[in-house]
């Protein structure tokens, strides 16, 4: 009897089931390959972005036009008194559209994103922001200007990246004393600024009248006047030969500050060169002008290099150095000063408070500010001064730490990069912009006592999303680099980005497929440890 | 006999009707799986190639940022046009970034306390208010200490052009110097063109200009454009706004459509505003190796542009990826911290100003 053995239907079924599981498992590996390649692309972009952020420390665009040291009539002009204004922190550098670094993700959306260890939520809870990279840069290689439409060609992978900084920055140094936008750079020789009156007045010397160069005779008279100041008021004459010795001058004139000698020599050199150029131009006048000028140079550079804490002399513009900027910081461990105890340019305000200013060594600052210039021999109105005490700095070794040794970890923060397709939300371009950080705005006191924010800075710098915001609820037009649009030429809703923004830079209002109720999981891409400076640095 | 009949049973029609569709379904699933797998594998390969190409482009740009090969190949004398004072075409344009500077090594010293390094003059665009500062110092000043600064700037500018000025002079330097007087008292620039005469300005103009000053002297609203004043180096008008001073890449290294080498060498760059006109791509150095690729691979162009910005330098890379199979084009922009021109020259074994063969000691 012949027996046949074969597969029963049940065995076939089991075999097929096992084969199906095996094949399905293999097929499931295929998307992993795509994900791995995507992750590789994200890592490439993240590494480039990290280096881009670091490079902004070399030359940050966020301080463009805002960190110039001005030769203004009033020392208090442009004095930004907010501690966090232009703070040199990584998250501030990162919040910049000009360098193509980052734009803050709207809070409404950021709160819908989960991450490993709830890092994103922690950043937001600490008051920080997460950023998405804009894609601005040079024009496409085939030509054309970087319009909004053109930028949409940027790698779509970039738009899925978000980043934030973990860890907190240390207290920053101040850009300048809150009362004085020091240093003041001046062309040397120059004509002097009205605020210098206090330097002269402190020495009992009349403020020199404005020079008159209208005629050769007037030039000669001006030259004589500056010579008289030197000879009579300060007691020395610039010889026709010999090298200036500021050290010797200080030694032989202990009762006179070097600052007033520098100012007098500056005025004299200016008049001397003018006279040798257009006045009684003789070979002797030319020789004297050379000597006068060189004496001025020697005294000014000695003051700059050897007496950097004496800020009563404008800094020469021909050799600006880091030592022109005194190291200052707010004393956060002392009781805040009030308007009655601290000099301000406004009426006493019981609600007004300010941290005292610390420096490692005493810094001597001018005691006046003035926007009054005056001209000719007519008496100018007296210079204006602060109500109360003159601007000073305190010294407290227990509170001053900016120059103390530090461990690298104390100033390092960690840049974390995630990948999440947040632009897929239905309301990604509809939710309002990230909130305005008022601490980033300058608070400028003004001569008449009223204070105001420099609002244009918000639209130009502190709000990187500004150029993308929709102008109205129709969401058809954006600001799109229009310099005519700012606080007074747009509605408050548009100004604060309440209509949302064209966040994928394609010029149209898009609605993604994801419902706003859906939570997204961000994939951690990379981490980079980065140094966070405490003061402005430029690498050159 | 009946057992043999039983043993040769075949499939019934019902069994066939069931088996055939099942087989078709299984084969179809297998084909679909295979097709999907093939597509996914192809996609992964394409993504991998793109990633590899982007990585190579980025690394090539990083190398270029550090070694400046686009402007000077240290191993190929035929690709060193920027060592030629008169440009690669011999058409008289002056100033290339790798030209030797005929200055003694003593000029290498930039001690801030050394009076020779101090600039003497108003540094003002409106010279008329402040007088004739050739009295104070100038290129042919009888006092070597007072001529020092002018001589250095003259040598650097005439050898290296605008980029050299930005590179070698300290950040707060005013970009100007005073040329020499000839026997008749006429001032002439280094091209021999007369400049001047000086006249007295009007009173009350002292505060006509308000300056933003160094170290961000290169800002658009700064007084840093002394070249606007023909009295002090006439004929070298160059827009410094947004500092589009660059070093043109060698021929075949450009990414744009127009050679800008001569234009840059002549220091006659067009003004560039914040919106980057169409000429910008022409200033990008693009490593030619990236154009060589197997058929079907994405086309990568990595353009590098060195930008003088806020007193610092930020080389910018723009990667362009073109997938010719799908037509997809994407861009990526990044900034770098790279080697300076001074470093690039020293990389080529130039100890100070000059190559060892042209070292001058005096």
Cα separation values, A221 from A214, A232, A235, A238, A297, Å: 11, 16, 19, 17, 23
The least confident of A33-42, A255-264, B5-14, B230-239 is: B230-239
- Residues of chain A positioned with their CB less than 8 A from the CB of B53: none
* Total Cβ atoms within 10 A of residue A534: 20
Contact across the interface for A65 and B3, Cβ inside 8 Å? no
**Which of B40, B213, B337 has the CB atom closest to A54's CB atom?**
B337
Number of alpha helices (DSSP H) and beta strands (DSSP E) in chain B: 6, 9
Place of tokens 């923060």: A413
CA distance to partner chain A, nearest, from residue B67 (Å): 17
Q: Flag whether pLDDT at B222 surpasses 50.
A: no
Quickly state the pLDDT bin for B34 (edges 50, 70, 90): confident
Q: How many CB pairs under 8 A join A and B?
A: 257
Q: How much helix, strand and coil, in percent to the nearest 5, is found in chain A?
A: 35, 15, 50
How far apart CA A194 and CA A368 sit, in angstroms, is 9
Taking CA atoms, what residue in A is nearest to B209? A71
The per-residue pLDDT for B88 is 42
Contact across the interface for B278 and A158, Cβ inside 8 Å? no
Region class of B117: left (phi > 0), else alpha (psi between -120 and 50), else beta: alpha
**Which of A26, A52, A68 has the CB atom closest to B216's CB atom?**
A68
Taking CA atoms, what residue in B is nearest to A38? B47
DSSP B193-208: -EE-------TT-TTS
Region class of A118: left (phi > 0), else alpha (psi between -120 and 50), else beta: left
Residues 6+ positions from A484 with CB-CB distance below 8 Å: none
Residues 6+ positions from B130 with CB-CB distance below 8 Å: A187, A189, A190, A270, A273, A274, B121, B122, B124
Contact across the interface for B336 and A51, Cβ inside 8 Å? yes
- Residues of chain A positioned with their CB less than 8 A from the CB of B206: 191, 210
Taking CA atoms, what residue in A is nearest to B333? A137
CA-based nearest residue to A516, from A428, A437, A390: A428
CA-based nearest residue to B93, from B242, B296, B236: B236
- Residues of chain B positioned with their CB less than 8 A from the CB of A531: none
CA-based nearest residue to B70, from B243, B245, B247, B244: B247
Q: Flag whether pLDDT at B96 surpasses 60.
A: yes
Token pair in block for residue A285 = 């006048």
Say if CB A254 and CB A308 are below 8 A apart.
no
Contact across the interface for A138 and B255, Cβ inside 8 Å? no
**Which of A38, A59, A277 has the CB atom closest to B310's CB atom?**
A59
**Signed CA dihedral, A146, A54, B308, A461: sign only:** positive
Contact across the interface for B281 and A54, Cβ inside 8 Å? no
Taking CA atoms, what residue in A is nearest to B343? A540
Most confident of the following: A170-174, B135-139, B268-272: A170-174
Query: Is residue A172 classed exposed, middle or buried when 0-12, 13-18 and 19+ CB atoms within 10 A define those classes?
Result: buried
Contact across the interface for B281 and A143, Cβ inside 8 Å? yes
- Residues of chain B positioned with their CB less than 8 A from the CB of A73: 207
Mean of per-residue pLDDT scores for chain B: 65
CA-based nearest residue to B218, from A538, A94, A131, A526: A538
Region class of B115: left (phi > 0), else alpha (psi between -120 and 50), else beta: alpha
Provide the 3-class DSSP secondary structure of residue A414. Answer: strand
E-assigned strands of B231-292? Answer: 285-286
How far apart CA B159 and CA B165 sit, in angstroms, is 10
Contact across the interface for B278 and A144, Cβ inside 8 Å? yes
Which of A52, A68, A141 is the best substitution to test chain B (most B C-beta atoms within 10 A)? Answer: A141
Host H or E run for residue A9: helix A9-56
Query: Is residue A351 classed exposed, middle or buried when 0-12, 13-18 and 19+ CB atoms within 10 A define those classes?
Result: exposed
CA distance to partner chain A, nearest, from residue B62 (Å): 10
Contact across the interface for A44 and B58, Cβ inside 8 Å? yes
CA-based nearest residue to A133, from A89, A95, A88, A93: A95
The bridge status of strand A520-521 relative to strand A113-114 is parallel
Contact across the interface for B40 and A305, Cβ inside 8 Å? no
How far apart CA A469 and CA A432 sit, in angstroms, is 9
- Residues of chain A positioned with their CB less than 8 A from the CB of B141: none
- Residues of chain A positioned with their CB less than 8 A from the CB of B215: 320, 538
Question: pLDDT tens, A54-107?
Answer: 887 766 554 443 444 444 455 655 566 665 666 788 888 787 665 567 889 999
- Residues of chain A positioned with their CB less than 8 A from the CB of B210: 70-72
Cα separation values, A153 from A135, A376, A445, A513, B96, Å: 9, 62, 44, 21, 35
Say if CB A29 and CB B44 are below 8 A apart.
no
Query: Is residue B288 classed exposed, middle or buried when 0-12, 13-18 and 19+ CB atoms within 10 A define those classes?
Result: middle
Say if CB B214 and CB A320 are below 8 A apart.
yes
Name residues of chain A where pLDDT drops below 50. 62-72, 137-150, 345, 371-383, 445-453, 455-457, 459-460
Token pair in block for residue A140 = 């496409």
CA distance to partner chain A, nearest, from residue B146 (Å): 10
- Residues of chain A positioned with their CB less than 8 A from the CB of B137: 290
Phi, psi of A225, deg, nearest 5: -65, -45
Q: Which residue has the higher pLDDT, A519 or B163?
A: A519
How far apart CA B20 and CA A385 sit, in angstroms, is 102
CA distance to partner chain A, nearest, from residue B345 (Å): 16
DSSP B88-126: TT-SS----TT------GGGG---TT-GGGS--S---S-
How far apart CA A131 and CA B176 sit, in angstroms, is 43
Provide the 3-class DSSP secondary structure of residue A38. Answer: helix
CA distance to partner chain B, nearest, from residue A170 (Å): 24
Question: pLDDT tens, B50-92?
Answer: 888 888 888 888 888 888 887 778 888 877 777 776 644 333 4
Cα separation values, B157 from A17, A426, B134, B163, B177, Å: 80, 57, 19, 8, 10
Quickly state the pLDDT bin for B271 (edges 50, 70, 90): very low
Taking CA atoms, what residue in B is nearest to A154? B331
- Residues of chain A positioned with their CB less than 8 A from the CB of B222: 68
Query: Is residue B144 classed exposed, middle or buried when 0-12, 13-18 and 19+ CB atoms within 10 A define those classes?
Result: exposed
Q: How much helix, strand and coil, in percent to the nearest 5, is found in chain B?
A: 35, 10, 50
CA atoms in the 13 A half-sphere facing the CB of A11: 4
Provide the 3-class DSSP secondary structure of residue B302. Answer: strand
Contact across the interface for B213 and A71, Cβ inside 8 Å? yes
DSSP A219-285: HHHHHHHHHHIIIIIS-----SSS---HHHHHHH-TTS-HHHHHHHHHHHHHHHHHHHHHSS--HHH
Phi, psi of A316, deg, nearest 5: -65, 135
The per-residue pLDDT for A525 is 96
Contact across the interface for A191 and B133, Cβ inside 8 Å? no
Quickly state the pLDDT bin for B109 (edges 50, 70, 90): low
CA distance to partner chain B, nearest, from residue A182 (Å): 12
Section B177-206 average pLDDT: 49
Section B31-40 average pLDDT: 88
Say if CB A334 and CB A355 are below 8 A apart.
yes
Taking CA atoms, what residue in A is nearest to B43? A34
Indicate if ipTM > 0.85: no
């Amino acid at each position: 009897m012949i027996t046949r053995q074969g597969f029963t239907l049940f065995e076939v079924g089991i075999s097929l089931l096992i084969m199906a599981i095996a094949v399905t498992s293999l097929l499931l590996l295929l998307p992993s390959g795509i994900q791995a390649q995507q992750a590789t692309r994200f890592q490439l972009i993240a590494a480039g972005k990290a280096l881009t952020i670091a490079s902004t420390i070399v030359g940050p665009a966020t301080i463009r036009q805002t960190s110039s040291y001005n030769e203004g009539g009033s020392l208090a002009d442009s004095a930004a008194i907010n501690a966090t204004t232009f703070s040199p922190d990584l998250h501030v550098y990162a919040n910049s559209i000009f360098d193509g670094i980052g734009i803050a993700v709207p809070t409404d959306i950021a709160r819908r994103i989960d991450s490993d260890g709830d890092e994103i939520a922690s950043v937001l809870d600490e008051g920080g922001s997460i950023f998405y990279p804009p894609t601005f840069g040079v024009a496409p290689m085939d030509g054309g200007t970087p319009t909004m439409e053109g930028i949409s060609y940027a790698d779509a992978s970039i738009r899925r990246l978000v980043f934030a900084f973990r860890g907190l920055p240390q207290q920053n140094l101040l850009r300048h004393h809150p009362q004085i936008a020091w240093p003041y750079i001046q062309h040397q020789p120059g004509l002097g600024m009205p605020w210098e009156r206090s330097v002269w007045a402190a020495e009992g010397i009349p403020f020199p009248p404005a020079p008159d160069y209208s005629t050769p005779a007037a030039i000669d008279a001006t030259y004589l006047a500056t010579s008289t100041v030197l000879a009579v008021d300060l007691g020395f004459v610039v010889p026709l030969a010999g090298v200036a010795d500021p050290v010797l001058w200080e030694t032989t004139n202990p009762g006179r500050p070097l600052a007033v000698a520098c100012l007098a020599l500056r005025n004299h050199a200016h008049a001397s060169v003018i006279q040798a150029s257009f006045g009684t131009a003789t070979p002797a006048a030319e020789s004297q002008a050379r000597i006068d000028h060189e004496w001025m140079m020697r005294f000014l550079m000695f003051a700059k290099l050897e007496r950097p804490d004496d800020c009563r002399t404008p800094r020469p513009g021909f050799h600006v150095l880091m030592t022109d900027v005194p190291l200052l910081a707010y004393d956060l461990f002392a009781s805040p000063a009030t308007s009655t105890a601290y000099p301000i340019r406004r009426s006493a305000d019981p609600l007004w408070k300010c941290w005292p200013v610390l420096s490692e060594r005493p810094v001597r600052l001018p005691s006046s500010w003035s926007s009054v210039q005056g001209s000719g021999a007519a008496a100018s109105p007296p210079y204006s001064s602060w109500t109360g005490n003159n601007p000073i700095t305190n010294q407290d070794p227990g509170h001053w730490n900016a120059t103390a040794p530090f461990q690298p970890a104390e100033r390092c923060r960690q840049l974390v990069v995630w990948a999440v397709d947040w632009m897929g939300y239905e309301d990604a371009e509809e939710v309002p912009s990230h909130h305005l950080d008022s601490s980033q705005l300058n608070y400028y006191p003004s001569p008449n006592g009223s204070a105001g924010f420099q609002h244009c800075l918000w639209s130009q710098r502190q709000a990187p999303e500004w150029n993308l915001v929709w102008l109205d609820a129709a969401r058809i037009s954006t600001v799109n680099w229009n310099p005519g649009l700012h606080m007074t030429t747009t509605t408050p809703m548009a100004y604060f980005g309440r209509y949302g923004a064209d966040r994928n830079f394609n010029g149209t209002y898009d609605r993604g497929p994801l419902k706003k109720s859906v939570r997204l999981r961000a994939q951690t891409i990379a981490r980079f440890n980065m140094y966070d400076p405490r003061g402005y640095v430029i690498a050159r | 006999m009946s057992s043999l009949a039983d043993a040769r049973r075949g499939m019934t029609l019902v069994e066939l009707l069931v088996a055939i569709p099942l087989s078709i379904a299984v084969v179809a699933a297998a084909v679909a799986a295979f097709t999907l797998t093939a597509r996914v594998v192809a996609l992964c390969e394409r993504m991998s190639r793109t990633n590899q190409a982007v990585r190579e482009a980025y690394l090539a740009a990083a190398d270029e940022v550090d070694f400046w090969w686009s402007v000077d190949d240290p191993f190929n004398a035929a690709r060193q046009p920027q060592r030629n004072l008169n440009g690669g075409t011999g058409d008289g344009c002056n100033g290339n970034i790798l030209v030797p500077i005929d200055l003694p090594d003593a000029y290498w010293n930039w001690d801030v306390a050394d009076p020779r390094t101090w600039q003497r003059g108003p540094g003002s665009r409106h010279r008329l208010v402040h007088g004739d500062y050739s009295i104070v110092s100038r290129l042919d000043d009888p006092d070597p200490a007072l001529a020092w600064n002018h001589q250095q700037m003259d040598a650097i500018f005439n050898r290296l052009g605008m980029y050299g000025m930005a590179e070698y002079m300290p950040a707060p330097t005013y970009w100007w110097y005073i040329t020499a007087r000839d026997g008749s008292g006429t001032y002439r620039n280094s091209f021999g063109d007369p400049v001047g005469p000086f006249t007295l300005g009007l009173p009350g103009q002292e505060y006509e200009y308000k300056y933003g000053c160094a170290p961000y002297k290169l800002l658009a609203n700064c007084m840093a454009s002394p070249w606007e004043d023909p009295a002090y180096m006439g004929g070298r008008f160059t827009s410094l706004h947004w500092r589009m001073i660059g070093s043109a890449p060698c021929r075949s290294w450009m990414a744009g459509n127009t050679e800008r080498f001569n234009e840059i060498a002549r220091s006659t760059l067009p003004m560039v505003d914040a919106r980057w006109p169409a000429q910008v791509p022409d200033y990008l150095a693009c490593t030619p190796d990236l154009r060589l690729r197997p058929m079907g691979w994405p086309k990568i162009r990595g353009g590098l542009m060195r930008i003088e910005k806020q007193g610092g330098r930020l080389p910018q890379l723009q990667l362009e990826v073109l997938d010719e199979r799908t037509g997809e084009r994407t861009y990526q922009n990044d900034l770098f911290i790279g080697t300076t021109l001074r470093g690039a020259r020293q990389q080529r074994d130039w100890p100070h100003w000059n190559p060892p063969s042209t070292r001058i000691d005096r």
